[in-house]
Structure 1
């Protein structure tokens, strides 16, 4: 087996010189082939390769543990080594890199669940229908599967479990960014609005642990509340964090000094989003603040993860959309709020702050 170090016996084969500047043809070829890399990462995540590399291992050992074809696994790993997800040493042993560590299961900011969902067949089939969405403005998902994503989610527990895990893992870095970029110490009653499957209660728990004088409310669906209840009990916050079950389209827990709505408003068209925000406006204290945690599409022509995920929103769910600052400002105004600040963070999300108008 030829290693990625380009060595044969004692003879070192020089690498070909790297051309200065990348021609446009090569650039666009790299872009068009990005989906292949995404699937390669997803397969490595499903096989748990990163979990196995807490100690350096040979491809032979990895193939035996994962019940895969050794030569084929090596070809996959060679791709991922070239993108600094793993490394291979001169002895043919594979090691983790900081990027590869993020594919481990039980690590801070793990993206393993997210990587798995990106490679799932339902996700690939959905993107295969993009032309339908561009021509009609309708979700390709509905056309391909004969139902809306939420119905498919409810009928397929394994898909729901994986999707929820992907969202929770992807949003973990967002919680860290929120705590690092916003001061919650002046708010007495903090209300965290769950997202019906993607909230895990860790944000409200972290806020309350940092300030013993605060009271909190976690608001979500009944199924999710039960899972969050265990976290609140373990962290010793049961006496300061109330768990409330409800419907965001009906009403919000009242008299909050600050409401946090994370990764939710982008799931809905303007009319439904305004309904949610109006319910918050009715509940919020006169001096209160509202924080929307969302991607904000930047102006201009620069690349943006939000721009890509906006197309995914179009394909996946009717009404779902990533918005610009101006669009959020208009949305909030229609619900009786005044946008006061947008705080960027080291995560893809921004903190959109507003007050009752």
Structure 2
């Protein structure tokens, strides 16, 4: 009689196999933004504006290695950003067109900001956030996020240029989603280069604006337009200390998500003290919806967690912030973008 025992059939549950394969694929997903960053850094899309080119032609124009460049483009083609033809040439697709530097709404600078090492490295150490209950940025760079930018002009430029590029496609749809008054003053708190303020003022000749930010940020404003002449002014300051007095509207876009609750309450209280009697505060941020559905706010929230002290918030969390600052959440308006307009009025 043989001592060899029959081997049992593989009893692995098909669902277990599917889970294993799915998780491996998910773990590899970080290579897509890595490839996207590489393509953005070397400016591949700019060299495809006039039509398809081979990797060798693109490599000659971008100062890269053709074989390695081909491998990056091949992966990005699986996401529909480029397409390879039968002759081995790549073309830029409609989905990838905004990667061109000269595209009407170019997001190349935004891609470079989102994938910059100041965001990438903390994301890679997110487990530190879980263990320590704070951002991983400080431990990696030796100081908080905005302190690092204050000392590193090159990184600060990446951030501000990237934020402007990220905001450009959003500004007009957001401004159009809100019924701004025809007259009065709107203060864009932490308004950066002024894209949202420009969108709010256009078409409303009786409305005036204040672009409020740090001096070095205001220097890059883009409000020199004939239709805005005499209708806006820059004001330099620290919004945690104060904001300009007497306006009807105080708006802040992608600002509160940078900060913890304590800092947000300070900022909102400053707006409450400064606003006109019938004034309103508009927070333009992503609002995390309930449930398990995909939403960009949930990804943005982890980027904030890894690099800053801030967070994306739910409607109830916004309501709590407002209440502590002497405000009352009045309504939340959806926009065609990932951001909502969270509107608050005086609580008393």
Give TM-score scaled by structure 2 length: 0.89
**1:315–1:214 distance in 2 versus 1, CA, 3 Å:** same
The 2-side partners of 1:261 and 1:123 are apart by 22
Q: Residue deviations 1:87-123, cap 9 Å, x none?
A: 1222332211122111111223322112223443343
CA RMSD, 1 decimal? 1.8
**1:34–1:57 distance in 2 versus 1, CA, 3 Å:** same
Aligned: 1:221 with 2:214: yes
2:4 aligns to what? Answer: none
Query: Structure 2 residue aligned with 1:326, among 280, 302, 316?
Result: 316
Query: Structure 2 residue aligned with 1:39, among 12, 34, 38?
Result: 34
The 1-side partners of 2:80 and 2:45 are apart by 13
Query: Structure 2 residue aligned with 1:212, among 205, 212, 235?
Result: 205
The 2-side partners of 1:283 and 1:212 are apart by 24
**1:353–1:51 distance in 2 versus 1, CA, 3 Å:** same
The 1-side partners of 2:333 and 2:241 are apart by 29
| Residue pair 2:269, 2:326 contacting (<8 A) in 1 also | yes
The 2-side partners of 1:176 and 1:24 are apart by 42
The 2-side partners of 1:351 and 1:267 are apart by 16
| Residue pair 1:43, 1:116 contacting (<8 A) in 2 also | no
Aligned: 1:335 with 2:330: no
Give structure 1 stretches of 5+ with no counterpart: 1-21
Give the paired residue count. Answer: 330
Query: Structure 1 residue aligned with 2:306, among 315, 321, 324?
Result: 315
| Residue pair 1:141, 1:315 contacting (<8 A) in 2 also | yes
Aligned: 1:98 with 2:89: no
| Residue pair 2:272, 2:326 contacting (<8 A) in 1 also | yes
1:59 aligns to what? Answer: 55
Q: Residue deviations 1:243-264, cap 9 Å, x none?
A: 2122212222112111111111
**1:50–1:317 distance in 2 versus 1, CA, 3 Å:** same
Q: Residue deviations 1:225-244, cap 9 Å, x none?
A: 2322xx33344523111221
The 2-side partners of 1:209 and 1:86 are apart by 36
| Residue pair 1:293, 1:352 contacting (<8 A) in 2 also | yes
| Residue pair 1:193, 1:261 contacting (<8 A) in 2 also | yes
SS of the equivalent of 1:353 reads strand
Q: Spell out the pairing of 1:1-357 with structure 2 (5 A cutoff).
A: 23-55=18-50, 56-195=52-191, 199-228=192-221, 231-318=222-309, 320-357=310-347
SS of the equivalent of 1:296 reads coil
Shift of 1:280: 0.4
| Residue pair 2:99, 2:108 contacting (<8 A) in 1 also | yes
Q: Residue deviations 1:121-163, cap 9 Å, x none?
A: 3433222221111011022111122221222212222111112
Q: Residue deviations 1:291-344, cap 9 Å, x none?
A: 1001111111222222222222222123x1111100000111111111111112
Shift of 1:168: 1.5
Moved over 4 A (4+): none
Give TM-score scaled by structure 1 length: 0.87
